[in-house]
């Protein structure tokens, strides 16, 4: 039976979850995780508290969904960066593009970055099984780290990076990138060098360290 003209189609549970995540994301990014209650999220999402708890039984599961949605944006930037750099002849072009995408995205989205990487909401997994500390794992977060590790593996296999543990190298690269982004976000009053110059210098140091 067709819906009567002017009557909106009933939202599916998936649509409702997306609506809740979008509202929670906006509030958590703006005010911080601890300052936002489930009741406030329900109000912002336009659902009852009972319905909210039906979709997300506890706050942690909702926070994890928000973080996973944020990682989706970073993963999209990784995919775009690798695609654009794939045609370049330099062997480290794709890894350089990944580091540029990571740092630029983090500095352009400081509040989102704090929630993703500086708040113990979810466990970060990519190359090791299990849920860290019993916390939920972000699939998009795992895929993001996986993209970095995959690029390191490619460089080792092609002989451009020195032989070694690809996951360990990827961890070091991530730690370096995170250090730059987190410090610049946390201490904006420090007289930092130009962000692009600092990121490029950090990347060059990393590439020298892993080059064969």
pLDDT (tens digit, 9 = 90+) per residue, 31-41?
A: 888 889 999 99
**Entry field: residues in the chain:** 212
Q: Which segments in the chain show pLDDT lower than 50?
A: 1, 3, 5-8, 131
pLDDT given at position 187:
96
Are 162 and 193 within one domain?
yes
Are 142 and 109 within one domain?
yes
Q: What is the pLDDT of residues 108-121, one digit of tens each?
A: 999 999 988 988 77
189 is a domain residue: yes
In the chain, helix, strand, coil percent, each to 5? Answer: 70, 0, 30
Are 126 and 145 within one domain?
yes
Are 17 and 99 within one domain?
no
The number of domains in the chain is 2
pLDDT given at position 59:
87
Burial class (CB in 10 A: 0-12, 13-18, 19+), 126: buried
194 is a domain residue: yes
46 contact partners, CB below 8 Å, separation of at least 6: 19, 23
pLDDT given at position 123:
58
For the entire predicted model, the pTM comes to 0.86
The DSSP call for residue 91 is T
pLDDT given at position 128:
55
């Amino acid at each position: 039976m067709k819906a009567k003209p002017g009557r909106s189609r009933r939202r599916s549970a998936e649509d409702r979850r997306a609506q809740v995540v979008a509202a929670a994301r906006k509030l958590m990014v703006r005010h911080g995780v601890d300052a936002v209650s489930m009741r406030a999220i329900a109000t912002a999402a336009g659902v009852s508290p009972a319905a909210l708890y039906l979709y997300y039984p506890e706050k942690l599961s909702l926070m994890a969904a928000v973080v996973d949605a944020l990682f989706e944006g970073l993963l999209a930037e990784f995919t775009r960066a690798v695609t654009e750099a794939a045609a370049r002849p330099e062997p480290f072009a794709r890894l350089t593009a990944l580091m540029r995408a990571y740092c630029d995205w983090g500095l352009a989205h400081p509040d989102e970055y704090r929630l993703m990487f500086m708040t113990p909401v979810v466990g970060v997994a990519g190359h090791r099984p299990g849920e860290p500390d019993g916390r939920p794992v972000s699939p998009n977060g795992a895929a993001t780290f996986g993209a970095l590790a995959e690029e390191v593996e490619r460089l080792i296999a092609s002989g451009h990076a020195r032989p070694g543990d690809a996951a360990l190298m990827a961890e070091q690269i991530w730690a370096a990138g995170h250090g730059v982004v987190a410090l610049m976000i946390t201490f904006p009053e420090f007289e930092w060098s130009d962000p692009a110059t600092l990121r490029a210098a950090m990347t060059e140091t990393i590439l020298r360290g892993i080059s064969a």
